[in-house]
Amino acid sequence: MGLQEVWFILIAVLFIGYFVLEGFDFGVGMLMPVLGRRKDPEGDTRRRVVLNTIGPVWDGNEVWLITGGGALFAAFPEWYATLFSGFYLPLLIILVALIVRICAIEYRGKIDDDTWRRRCDWGIVFGSWVPAVLWGVAFANIVRGVDIDADKQVTSNLFDLLNPYALLGGLTTALVFALHGAVFLALKTADEVRTDAVELASRLALPAVPVAGAFVLWTQLAHGKGWTWILVAIAAAALLGVVAFTRAEREGWAFLLTSIAVIATVALLFVSLFPNVMPSTLDAAYNLTIENASSSPYTLKVMTWAAAFLTPVVLIYQGWTYWVFRQRISTKHIPPSIGLPLERR
Amino acid sequence: MDALDVSRWQFGITTVYHFILVPLTIGLAPLIAVMQTMWVVTGKDHWYRLTKFFGKLFLINFALGVATGIVQEFQFGMNWSEYSRFVGDVFGAPLALEGLVAFFLESTFLGLWIFGWGRLPKLVHLATIWLVAIGVNASAYFIITANSFMQHPVGAVYNPETGRAELTSIWTLLTNNTALAAFPHVVAGAFLTAGTFVAGVGGWWMVRSMRKAKEATEPEVAKKHEDTARTMFRPVTVLALWVMVASGIGLAITGDIQGKLMFEQQPMKMASAESLCHTETGADFSILTVGTQNNCESITQLIKIPGLTSFLADGTFDSTVEGVTEIQARYEEMYGPGNYKPNLFVTYWTFRAMIGWAAGSALLAVVGLWMTRGGRVPDKKWFGWLSILVIPTPFLGNSAGWVFTEMGRQPWVVAPNPTGVDMIRLTVDQGVSNHSPWTVWVSLITFTVVYGALAVVWFTLIRRYTIEGPLEHDAHPPGDDHDEPEEPGRPEQLSFAY
């Protein structure tokens, strides 16, 4: 296997890591107002339970995207350049959503004021829904292909990107991430919040399983390879398993299975793409492939050494963080707000 | 404006914004690590309170720093795709290394630090903030090696078949002399920023506590306030003042080294920093120049120091420094017709502003060390105000320095290395993406509006938490009366929750 194949796999691994880890972060943010309704007298405490399940880890999870972007730049600069200049407006919206989400999460508890918290909650919900939908749209378009001309410029406009297959992709990521988040919440919370999260997960499975199933099947039929039926089967089996384990309140297994469903789906997208990295719908001669989009052998070699040494270290300390904060949280664990009033009394 | 101008404005605005926040993070993380170490070593609760107090300010700043940093990672591809194609082979490596080495480290261990109070053993918890401090500085190193490649490309060859720069030696790239000079300069600037911030806030609170002590009618209350000033704010202020002195010296030395490198490697930047229109032997350093800076023939130098520019360039007062006009002619011969001059007005004044703003910190350092000499605790109101008013100056100096470095490189995005590979050079108009102006306008306006709104929130929070001072609920560390739980069990409440 050549280094270009290795780096194609590593990029896929980085994005799989991103979608598995940020998938439930997005889901948690998306479901925060559902599990902590405003009318509920304990609404705010419940919202804080939900938010604090990802409290210590969401920032580290997001770095998978930054590193994925950096690795894309280093290993496949043509891919990086074509993708990010070609998907300009969707990426802009994703970036704004991520900016707003970061600040909303960090600043929410800083001021003890209902209006302040409400605005931050809006920021968290917006910042979670928008990327959850748009990443699906973007990746579906990468697999489907866009208009790339001889100069490696994407000439599709925004409306071309909103085709049925891509929209189904966006719906899929939104629903699967919401389900992933609900199952994660069931695993990480205790008492009433947990009960509600389990129920929410069962309900979310109803739309998520058929929609994701349809998207995976469409991907396989239109772009898949023969053996990728295995990934389709794994994704489908995992999603059905989620339903069973959620009903049985075996959250650990259910979470493992939503993770597997995300992994299988993203893997299917990447394998369907291979050996292209961005196919052109204008002419197959204009396709960006791992051959014509990659860096030089030397750069790939250097980066391979770096990744081989550093990735295990990162995995160990990130795993340790999850271990440190493994305990379930309930409303009892949430301390009173230590935020300041907006103005000095 | 065409897409090139809008893209340049956008990159400038987003980067300057990012770099308002970054130096405070780079400098404050180690300072907080020192404060926490002092607590762990001495066992004095004052240091714990200071760690929590400055830790809150640090986190408010860190969040926005991260948020604005994400944009930078993608903006190369979005707005500068042709540049990304040209240098991606070289430029991508330090960016990916930055993610793998530094971003994972800082973000993961910062999460552990924030939420680990009372849950991790004391020393492990202390290690987390030190790892954050290492992470933020490591990230600076990698991104500066990337930037230094644009200033002084090394370690790469030009591949005529692909028309791209290709990396030949990662070691040469990571030990670029430009990077080895720029990194300590940036870190010294960051330490000066954080030192000034801590000394400013600490000095203001020291005065405030002393005045509260004076005004108090009950002796107990008076003693409490004086105790706060004397045992908490005085030590941290003095510590920060010495950090300022050390980083100020570091800035001057590294700045001088950088100037000499610039003279060899980017003569146009050096000449335009001086508005030196024509080659001179024993060139003077101008302090004040009037006239239309961008028109070489119309400027008059009012105040100048004889021979100083030559001295800055290579250490002798009578060396020859090439002027803008001569370099322009030489470049036209080498690279074909074109305008190779940066904006002389901006480079001239940002260079002076960068140095000039350091006077703010210098003033606070001298006055502060004098006011606190021999165990004194100042209570003069003017000193409290001076402390606060000086805080913005290093931020302005940092911005001015970066604007000078980056705009002095124009029109190049990859400046040619006079002793390097000839074909590794790119002008900004060759590097920009092929977008319609309105596309870039949309993102420019969006980022400016979002950043503007968040800047207001950031400033409100920093101001609010500074005025509030160290909080009562942070007076004593968690688990103070009993030791940290051996097994991270199930505490009734989390020590911290968003």
Q: pLDDT of A28-45, one tens digit each?
A: 999 999 998 888 888 899
Cβ proximity of A267 and A252 under 8 Å: no
Cα A174 to Cα A176: distance, rounded to the nearest angstrom: 6
User: Does B453 touch chain A if contact means CB atoms closer than 8 Å?
Assistant: no
For tokens 């322009």, what's the residue?
B328
pLDDT tens digits, residue range B224-268?
899 889 999 999 999 999 999 999 999 999 998 898 888 888 888
Cβ proximity of B11 and B150 under 8 Å: no
Q: What is the dihedral of CA B472, B473, B475, B479, to 10 degrees?
A: 160
Confidence band, pLDDT 50/70/90 cuts, at residue B453 = very high
Alpha-carbon torsion (B314, B319, B322, B323), positive or negative: positive
Tell me the average pLDDT across B472-491: 60
Angle of CA points A252, A256, A259, to nearest 5°: 140
What length is written for chain B? 498
Q: How is B438-466 classified by DSSP, letter by letter?
A: HHHHHHHHHHHHHHHHHHHHHHHHHHHHH
Question: Which residues in chain A have Cβ-Cβ distances shorter than 8 Å to B92?
Answer: 70-75, 77, 80, 295, 299
Q: Give the closest-approach CA distance of A300 to chain B in angstroms.
A: 9
Tell me the average pLDDT across B404-422: 90
Determine, for residues B112 and A56 on separate chains, whether the beta-carbon distance falls below 8 Å. yes
User: Does B475 touch chain A if contact means CB atoms closer than 8 Å?
Assistant: no
Check pLDDT > 80 for residue A57: yes
DSSP 8-state secondary structure symbol assigned to residue B375: G
Question: Which residues in chain B have Cβ-Cβ distances shorter than 8 Å to A158?
Answer: none
Determine, for residues B70 and A92 on separate chains, whether the beta-carbon distance falls below 8 Å. no
Q: Give the closest-approach CA distance of A206 to chain B in angstroms.
A: 32
Q: What are the structural domain ranges in chain A?
A: 3-146+155-297
Q: Give the closest-approach CA distance of A124 to chain B in angstroms.
A: 12
Question: Which residues in chain A have Cβ-Cβ distances shorter than 8 Å to B159?
Answer: 296
Whole-number average pLDDT of chain A: 92
Residue of A nearest to B57 (CA): A110
Check pLDDT > 70 for residue B483: no
User: Does B216 touch chain A if contact means CB atoms closer than 8 Å?
Assistant: no
With both helix axes pointing from N to C terminus, report the angle between A58-75 and A3-35 in degrees, rounded to the nearest 10. 150
pLDDT of residue B418: 86
Percentage of residues in chain B with pLDDT exceeding 70?
94
User: Residue by residue, what is the 3-state secondary structure of A64-131?
Assistant: HHHHHHHHHHHHCHHHHHHHHHHCHHHHHHHHHHHHHHHHHHHHHHHECCHHHHHHHHHHHHHHHHHH
**Identity of the residue in B85, B95, B114 whose CB atom sits nearest the CB atom of A74:** B95
Determine, for residues A324 and B116 on separate chains, whether the beta-carbon distance falls below 8 Å. yes
Cα B495 to Cα B118: distance, rounded to the nearest angstrom: 7
Q: Give the closest-approach CA distance of B133 to chain A in angstroms.
A: 16
Q: Give the closest-approach CA distance of A308 to chain B in angstroms.
A: 11
Determine, for residues B96 and A333 on separate chains, whether the beta-carbon distance falls below 8 Å. no
Domain A3-146+155-297 fold is Formate dehydrogenase/DMSO reductase fold (1.20.1630)
Question: Which residues in chain A have Cβ-Cβ distances shorter than 8 Å to B69?
Answer: 66
A152: left (phi over 0), alpha (psi -120 to 50) or beta: left
Taking alpha carbons only, the member of B353, B351, B397, B141 closest to residue B259 is B351
Q: Give the closest-approach CA distance of A239 to chain B in angstroms.
A: 30
Task: Choose the weakest-confidence range: A127-136, A276-285, A312-321, B203-212.
Answer: A276-285
**Identity of the residue in B93, B454, B467 whose CB atom sits nearest the CB atom of A74:** B93
pLDDT tens digits, residue range B188-233?
999 999 999 999 999 999 999 999 888 888 989 999 899 889 999 9
Residue type, A317: Y
Cβ proximity of B156 and B415 under 8 Å: no
pLDDT of residue B294: 66
pLDDT of residue B482: 47
CA distances to A109, A168, B36, B474 from A338, in Å:
7, 43, 21, 10
pLDDT of residue A281: 86
Check pLDDT > 80 for residue B141: yes
Strands (E) in B255-414, as ranges, are 280-281, 285-290, 300-305, 320-321, 412-414
Determine, for residues B111 and A153 on separate chains, whether the beta-carbon distance falls below 8 Å. no
Determine, for residues A77 and B88 on separate chains, whether the beta-carbon distance falls below 8 Å. yes
